[in-house]
């Protein structure tokens, strides 16, 4: 008898922790409750009729914290398929917490102290009972068996067969395999019918550009946009369109749902995958992968958004199972040692001031990696170049953290490094600067209180000696400094040597006037001219010939060397993909010149107002680029920069037709009367905000006004002021556009192409016109900030109907 009892106890150790309360039909009556207690690895649960699924408290690592969740109850790998969320955070409960099924509030989770941690938020009807179904869906029903709330409609990170998504439905990844807090990835079924996966910028829900999409938006066939995401009981996952068509999320054979457990999960590392597990398996069996998307997540991440799959300063590598792994480069370590996907931090301080204070130029070693890139951290491109010169250029640049070289092209990058990945197709080298001596991060040890007691007596003796030595040292130092200062005064006065404080940061090159005269062949090839001066094309020798644009400034403040260099420091430290990069300068006598990178596609004006009109998509991308560049100047660089002269002539296009703002930061360099309008204001006729003509303070909103005019020019492909127009009411673009908008005649006057019909709602012409009208409001307080403009262009913020920009019938200036 005793042997039998011991045998039963021993066998019970291998029972799966599914229940202390089990139901034959899966139904739970109102008033029932579960308590988060653990005996060994067991916890209370409610079972589905077949016993396949359990609803209850899942122990997290130890027996002190529990997760209210649903899991597979019959397999050793008890995978969680749903968990309670509070404001998108996992509802973790301490030991002794209870969940009660109530008539008015449904499921209510409370701590041992009675504090409400989570509830199911049933707002309509009275709950009669709960049902744990064999599909893995927990449903709250009324007396007529109508569903009031169910877990299938409150998604976490997993879909099960029989579950569907309507538009706006989404999955949110967890932070790690064992941490159920909100992660960085989101699968969203958009309002346009497109199923996308993207990273999100925590702690908000703001998504970056998707790295995976089904492209099930409205195409050439009417009704082809996605209506519903369906995971049917046969194991197929597809997007059902409005016209009944089906688009499989992944191509491949399905497995039998009768013989296998099946799930589709957005994993913590951003991979969306479908798995199956044989129901009647024995032995060491695990989940099998059926398919996963995207195929290569390291390289699928868009190069224009977000921090990447692995966080800043990290490198993403794809493993054999197509799951990413993240590593820190040499000289960097994880921000969180327990979270390899959270990004890396440098183990040393790198900066211009820190390097200057080190007192030596031999500060860094180089770590060479092959086929590794951080594609959106570039701030300067050097071409044609060699690998040796690329490495050396980065070493001499205090802002450069990494330089990559491929096909005679050197790209210098600054911290933080974004979207790091291994890409075998690059055929490139990455030169990473690693500080030899990380003493800049070392701090003196904290004093030991015991040492103070033992050394107190000897310290009293030493104080008297040290006082005498200190007094003598101060006297000698004073005499030496006085002599040195006197000597430096005469030497500097004689040789006119400039102090180191007046020298610009090392990333800007100082040219002599003769060098630039030779580089431009005597200033012969003119690229353009405007309010600030004349621009010439040239070629300078920095390692090898590099094409540049040299601007000879007119009307620069005289006798203002300090102010000139102060402003150049601001311009030189601005680095953004939508700003023209300043390469160097000349400050010699009366000559003030700026050297910019040369952009081959010229100005937006020449591109926009040509006989052949750009495509609608090109125009919208340019408008978004200008807006993002202004947002950076206004809010994101160290010193706010108000451009004061935004117009198509000051927006350049690179080889890929990316908009790049030029002449930013020059307003403070010019004399007060230097402007195109020949008044005491800055700017150009047709783009000048009304407050320039009054005594109102000038803020960044003047750039918003000018951007609004440029946006309307981009939309209509015509200049803001057309004095030659035969119809007077059309001469001023802003007035004419508002009249057309008010009269519902926008479509009749737009320059569009066929592709506009396939665009999503946020890029429709009418919405962009509304944004432009908001920007050109006469009252600066009514104009949005550039941040809000960007959000409206990206479709994040709703665009409301704008008021009339002006109380006057016509505008002047």
Which residues have a catalytic role annotated?
A: 645
Alpha carbon distances (Å) from 764 to 1, 406, 511, 752: 82, 39, 47, 11
Residue 603 DSSP class? B
Cα(111)–Cα(118) distance, integer angstroms: 10
Q: What are phi and psi of 69, to 5 degrees?
A: -160, 175
Q: What is the chain's Cα-based Rg?
A: 33
Contacts of 455 (CB under 8 A, 6+ apart): none
Binding positions for ATP: 552
Cα(132)–Cα(138) distance, integer angstroms: 5
Cα(343)–Cα(358) distance, integer angstroms: 28
Cα(415)–Cα(79) distance, integer angstroms: 39
Q: For 777-808, b where at least 16 C-beta lie within 10 A, e where not — what string?
A: bbebeebbebbbbbbbbbbeeebeebeebbee
List the beta bridge partners of residue 279.
none
In a 3-state reduction of DSSP, which class is residue 269?
Answer: coil
Give the H/E segment covering residue 471. helix 449-495
Q: What are phi and psi of 489, to 5 degrees?
A: -60, -45
CB of 43 closer than 8 Å to CB of 143: no
In a 3-state reduction of DSSP, which class is residue 299?
Answer: helix
CA angle 699, 700, 702 (to 5 degrees): 80
Cα(73)–Cα(25) distance, integer angstroms: 16
Count of CB atoms situated within 10 Å of the CB of 549: 21
Contacts of 324 (CB under 8 A, 6+ apart): 269, 270, 271, 297, 298, 309, 310, 316, 317, 318
Q: Residue 499, class by beta-carbon neighbours within 10 Å (0-12 exposed, 13-18 middle, 19+ buried)?
A: exposed
CA-closest candidate to residue 410, choices 381, 431, 432: 381
CB of 73 closer than 8 Å to CB of 20: no
Binding positions: 552
Count of CB atoms situated within 10 Å of the CB of 569: 15
């Amino acid at each position: 008898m005793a042997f039998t009892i011991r045998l039963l106890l021993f066998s019970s150790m291998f029972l799966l922790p599914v229940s202390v309360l089990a139901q034959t039909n899966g139904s739970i009556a109102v008033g029932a409750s579960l308590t988060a207690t653990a005996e060994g690895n067991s916890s209370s649960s409610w079972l589905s009729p077949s016993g396949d699924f359990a609803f209850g408290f899942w122990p997290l690592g130890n027996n002190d914290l529990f997760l209210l969740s649903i899991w597979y109850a019959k397999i050793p790998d008890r995978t969680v398929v749903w968990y309670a969320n509070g404001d998108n955070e996992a509802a973790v409960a301490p030991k002794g917490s209870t969940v009660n099924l109530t008539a008015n509030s449904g499921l209510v989770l409370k701590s041992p102290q009675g504090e409400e941690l989570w509830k199911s938020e049933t707002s309509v009807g009275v709950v009669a009972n709960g049902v744990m179904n064999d599909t893995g869906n927990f449903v709250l029903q009324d007396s007529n068996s109508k569903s009031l709330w169910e877990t299938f409609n409150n998604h976490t990170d997993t879909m099960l067969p029989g579950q569907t998504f309507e538009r706006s439905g989404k999955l949110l990844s967890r932070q790690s395999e064992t941490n159920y807090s909100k992660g960085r990835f989101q699968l969203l079924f958009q309002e346009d019918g497109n199923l996308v996966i993207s990273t999100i910028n925590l702690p908000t829900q703001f998504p970056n550009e998707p790295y995976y999409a089904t492209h099930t938006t409205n195409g050439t066939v009417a009704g082809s946009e996605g209506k519903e995401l369906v995971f049917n009981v046969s194991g197929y996952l597809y997007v059902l369109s409005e016209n009944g068509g089906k688009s499989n999320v992944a191509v491949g054979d399905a497995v039998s749902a009768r013989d296998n457990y099946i799930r589709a999960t957005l994993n913590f590392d951003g991979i969306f995958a479908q798995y199956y597990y044989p129901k009647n398996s024995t032995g060491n069996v695990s989940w099998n992968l059926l398919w996963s998307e995207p195929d290569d997540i390291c390289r699928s991440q868009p190069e224009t958004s977000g921090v990447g799959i692995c966080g800043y300063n990290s490198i993403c590598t794809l493993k054999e199972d197509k799951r990413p792994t993240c590593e820190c480069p040499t000289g960097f370590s994880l921000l969180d040692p327990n979270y390899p996907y959270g990004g890396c931090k440098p183990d040393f301080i790198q900066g211009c001031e820190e390097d200057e204070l080190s007192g030596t130029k031999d500060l860094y070693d180089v770590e060479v990696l092959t086929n590794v890139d951080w594609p959106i951290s570039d701030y300067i491109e050097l071409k044609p170049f060699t690998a040796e010169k690329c490495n050396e250029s980065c070493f001499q640049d205090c802002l450069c953290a990494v330089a990559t070289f491929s096909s005679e092209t050197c790209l210098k990058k600054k911290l933080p490094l974004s979207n790091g990945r291994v890409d075998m197709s690059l055929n490139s080298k990455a030169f990473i600067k690693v500080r030899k001596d990380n003493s800049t991060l070392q701090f003196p040890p904290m004093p030991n209180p015991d040492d103070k007691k033992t050394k107190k007596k000897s310290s009293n003796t030493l104080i008297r000696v040290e006082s005498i030595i200190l007094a003598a040292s101060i006297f000698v130092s004073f005499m030496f400094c006085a002599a040195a200062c006197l000597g430096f005064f005469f030497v500097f006065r004689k040789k006119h040597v400039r102090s180191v404080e007046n020298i610009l940061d090392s990333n800007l090159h100082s040219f002599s006037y003769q060098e630039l005269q030779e580089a431009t062949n005597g200033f012969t090839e003119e690229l353009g001219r405007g309010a600030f001066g004349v621009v010439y094309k040239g070629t300078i020798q920095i390692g090898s010939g590099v094409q540049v644009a040299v601007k000879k400034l007119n009307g620069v403040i005289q006798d203002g060397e300090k102010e000139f260099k102060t402003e150049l420091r601001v311009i030189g430290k601005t680095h953004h993909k939508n700003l023209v990069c300043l390469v160097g300068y000349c400050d010699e006598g009366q000559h003030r010149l700026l050297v910019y990178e040369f952009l081959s596609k010229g100005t937006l004006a020449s591109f926009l107002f040509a006989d052949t009109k750009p495509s609608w998509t090109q125009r919208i991308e340019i408008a978004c680029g200008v807006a993002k560049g202004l947002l950076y100047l206004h809010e994101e660089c160290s010193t706010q920069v108000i451009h004061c002269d935004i117009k198509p002539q000051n927006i350049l296009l690179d080889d890929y037709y990316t908009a790049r703002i030029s002449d930013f930061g020059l307003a403070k360099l010019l004399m007060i009367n230097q402007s195109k309008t020949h008044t005491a204001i800055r700017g150009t006729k047709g783009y000048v905000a009304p407050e320039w003509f009054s005594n109102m303070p000038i803020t960044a909103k003047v750039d918003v006004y000018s951007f609004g005019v440029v946006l309307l020019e981009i939309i209509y492909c015509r200049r803001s002021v057309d004095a030659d127009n035969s119809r007077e009411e059309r001469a001023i673009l802003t007035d004419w556009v508002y009249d057309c908008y008010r009269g519902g005649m926008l479509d009749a006057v737009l320059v569009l192409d066929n592709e506009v019909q396939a665009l999503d709602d946020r890029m429709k012409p009418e919405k962009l016109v509304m944004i432009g009208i908001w920007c050109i409001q006469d009252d600066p307080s009514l104009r949005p900030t550039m941040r809000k403009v960007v959000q409206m262009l990206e479709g994040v913020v709703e665009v409301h109907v704008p008021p009339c920009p002006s109380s006057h019938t016509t505008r002047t200036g």
